[in-house]
């Protein structure tokens, strides 16, 4: 009994050290990536919250570069939520066809903007609760808009790059984006919640790519438990 109690106490005493170690490693990763990518911001071109909302919906299963090409003309034609809400779906599909899944995206954009007109006088709301009630808006899209358009730290954006890098760096073992977000939020200082995904996205595109990560050039390779595995292959 005494031995069991002693082991339990030792186990409890070890937990904070492991937890703090992961916290410290996460902060060091952020510090180094900030130094490597001092200009890390959202790559989606926009001039107001509505444009960012539309761009983020279009970015699903599509590159930001392609979205920016499409929205260059799209934002000249559609300037308000009412413009989208009252447009012909076929016309909108014609503008966004090259982003992929254009039938669903056009439907979501029109439905979303009808919701903006009905509930928010055509303005994009700045709360997670209100954004999630709009058609086509999930937590990732809401986090993008809240962070990059309103500067609100409500959560952490988890896209494919953040998901991949969080796993490789040992920050989360989950596969579901919302569960990954829940793992990241206690690790990442709240002041960095907005910039954190931008850092991971930039790093994921430039160095920690999906198929062939360039570990020898990575500024955080000594902090990455996956570095040796990729180096050996």
57-77 pLDDT, tens digit each = 999 999 999 999 999 999 999
38 domain residue, yes or no: no
Q: Which of 11, 140, 183, 212 is catalytic?
A: 140
- The verdict on 100 and 133 lying in the same domain is yes
**Residue appearing with tokens 């444009």:** 51
- The verdict on 107 and 180 lying in the same domain is no
- DSSP state, residue 46: -
Name the domain boundary from 117, 148, 179.
Answer: 148
Q: Express each pLDDT in 147-182 by its tens digit.
A: 999 999 999 999 999 999 999 999 999 999 999 999
- The verdict on 141 and 169 lying in the same domain is no
Q: Which of 15, 159, 174, 229 is catalytic?
A: 159
4 domain residue, yes or no: no
Name the domain boundary from 148, 177, 202.
Answer: 148
The CA-atom distances, in angstroms, between 94 and each of 62, 65, 183 are: 16, 18, 40
- For residue 55, what is the domain's CATH number? 1.10.340.30
Q: What is the mean pLDDT of residues 103-128?
A: 97
- The verdict on 168 and 128 lying in the same domain is no
- Asked if residue 228 has pLDDT above 90, the reply is no
Name the domain boundary from 118, 148, 178.
Answer: 148
39 domain residue, yes or no: no
Q: Is 140 a catalytic residue?
A: yes
The number of residues in the chain equals: 233
Q: Is 159 a catalytic residue?
A: yes
pTM of the predicted model as reported, rounded to 2 decimal places:
0.84
Total number of domains in the chain: 2
Do residues 213 and 230 lie in contact, with contact meaning Cβ atoms separated by under 8 Å? Answer: yes
Q: What is the mean pLDDT of residues 43-58?
A: 96
Residue 61 contacts by C-beta under 8 Å, 6 or more apart in sequence?
A: 100, 101
Residue 178: domain span: 155-233
43 domain residue, yes or no: no
Q: Which tokens sit at 195? A: 């910039």
């Amino acid at each position: 009994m005494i031995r069991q109690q002693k082991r339990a106490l030792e186990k409890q005493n070890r937990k904070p050290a492991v937890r703090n170690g992961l916290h410290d490693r996460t902060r060091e990763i952020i510090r180094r990536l900030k130094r490597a990518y001092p200009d890390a911001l959202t790559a989606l071109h926009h001039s107001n919250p509505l444009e960012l909302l539309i761009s983020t919906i279009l970015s699903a299963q599509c590159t930001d570069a392609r979205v920016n090409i499409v929205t260059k003309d799209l934002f000249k034609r559609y300037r308000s939520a009412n413009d989208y809400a009252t447009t012909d779906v076929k016309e909108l599909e014609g503008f966004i066809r090259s982003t992929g899944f254009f039938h669903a995206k056009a439907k979501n954009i029109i439905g979303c903007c009808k919701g903006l007109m009905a509930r928010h006088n055509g303005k994009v709301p700045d709360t997670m609760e209100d954004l999630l009630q709009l058609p086509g808006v999930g937590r990732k899209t809401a986090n993008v808009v809240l962070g990059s358009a309103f500067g609100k730290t409500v959560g952490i954006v988890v896209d494919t790059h953040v998901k991949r890098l969080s796993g490789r760096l040992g920050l989360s073992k989950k596969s579901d984006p919302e569960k990954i977000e829940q793992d990241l939020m206690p690790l990442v200082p709240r002041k960095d919640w907005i910039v954190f995904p931008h850092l991971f996205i930039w790093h994921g595109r430039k160095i920690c790519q999906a198929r062939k990560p360039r570990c020898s050039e990575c500024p955080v390779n000594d902090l990455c438990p996956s570095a040796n595995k990729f180096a050996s292959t």
